[in-house]
Amino acid sequence: MRRPFVAGNWKMHGSRAENADLIDALLQGLPAQPACDIAVCPPVVYLWETGRLLKESSVALGAQSVCAEPIGAFTGEVSAAMLKDVGCRYVIVGHSERRHHYKEDDALVARKFLAAQSHGLIPILCVGEFLEERERGQTMAVISRQLAAVLDLAGVDAMRNAVLAYEPVWAIGTGKNATPAQAQEVHAHIRATVAARESASGGKIAAALRVLYGGSVKAGNAAEIFSMPDVDGGLIGGASLKADEFLKICAATQAH
């Protein structure tokens, strides 16, 4: 029912030459009908050119962040309309590196989510807890709080055109992934939290919502994570920079 989705978050990596090689290898290695939807999210300066390289392929373009404001005197920022204009379909909002290194709080993330949607972009909303929060038994409370900020501002209907990503902070870039059971538990909680807001639609929005797992996903662990019932694919950092790894991760969505 939910088509799996794999998105590559290139973070601050790449160059024009490296990106061209990576896209070339990806497009050559992908089957005519991939098992999942696929997107890559290059640094903003490479979006336009990457979009040209992807043209007419089954790989969509996404951005890594967006300004909450629509236009104006916001030096260094990029608006949702601009991202749409250069061909983006998706934008990541609330990635833990934005939340923590750049102090983006729940309220700002919610405004970014809304800005993205109001310009026809599909936000990939990231939520996730720190290790200390997990150890204190606060994981579900943290996820609920992060989700509530967006649901309060945008409403549950907004989840029809969004993707969620559970990314435990302690698993990002550390080589230490959540176990499939840990991921499943939080994914089910995310889906239940969205379902609880639906009075009119009887849980249909939550049932259709794709919830990705992110945090040290590799070719070697993707299939077992994706086999969990509420894990609908992945948001991939480091392993999305290597075409063979990323292709294997995309293929692993067949386990879903």
| Binding-site ranges for ligand PGA (CB under 6 A) | 9, 167, 172-173, 214-217, 235-239
Residue 170 C-beta: closest distance to ligand PGA, Å: 10
Distance CA 237, CA 174 (A): 11
Residue among 10, 35, 5 nearest 162 (CA)? 5
Name the token pair of 127.
Answer: 């939520």
Closer residue to ligand PGA, CB minimum distance, 53 or 217: 217
Q: Which helix (H) or strand (E) holds 21?
A: helix 16-29
Residue 73 C-beta: closest distance to ligand PGA, Å: 31
Closer residue to ligand PGA, CB minimum distance, 121 or 169: 169
Question: Of residues 95, 119, 187, 256, which has the active-site annotation?
Answer: 95
Distance CA 120, CA 89 (A): 8
The alpha helices in 136-254, defined as continuous H runs, are: 139-154, 180-196, 204-208, 222-226, 243-251
Question: Of residues 97, 104, 167, 245, which has the active-site annotation?
Answer: 167
Closer residue to ligand PGA, CB minimum distance, 149 or 235: 235
How many CB atoms lie under 10 A from the CB of residue 25? 15
Residue 171 C-beta: closest distance to ligand PGA, Å: 6
Known catalytic residue: 167? yes
Q: Which residues are catalytic?
A: 95, 167
